[in-house]
Amino acid sequence: MTTRVSAALVGLLLASLPTVARAHAILVESTPKQGEVTKKAPTEVVLRFNARIEKAVSHVALLGPGGDKVKLPPLPEDRDGPPDRLRIDLPALKPGEYKLEFRVLASDGHATPGLLRFTVSPPPRGGAGGAPQGGGK
Q: Considering only residues 133 and 99, tell me which one the structure prediction assigns the higher pLDDT.
A: 99
Are 51 and 85 in contact by the 8 Å Cβ rule? The answer is: no
Does residue 32 register a pLDDT over 70? yes
Are 87 and 46 in contact by the 8 Å Cβ rule? The answer is: yes
Does residue 87 register a pLDDT over 60? yes
SS3 content of the chain, % helix, strand, coil (to 5): 20, 35, 45
Under CATH, to which class is 24-122 assigned? Answer: mainly beta
Beta bridge partners of 32: none
Are 70 and 77 in contact by the 8 Å Cβ rule? The answer is: no
Q: How far is residue 116's CA from residue 126's CA, in Å, rounded to a whole number?
A: 31
| pLDDT, position 76 | 79
Kindly report whether the global pTM for this prediction surpasses the value 0.75. no
Does residue 75 register a pLDDT over 60? yes
Transcribe 40-83 into DSSP letters.
S--SEEEEEESS-B-GGG-EEEEE-GGGPEEP-PPPP--TTS-T
List the chain domain ranges.
24-122
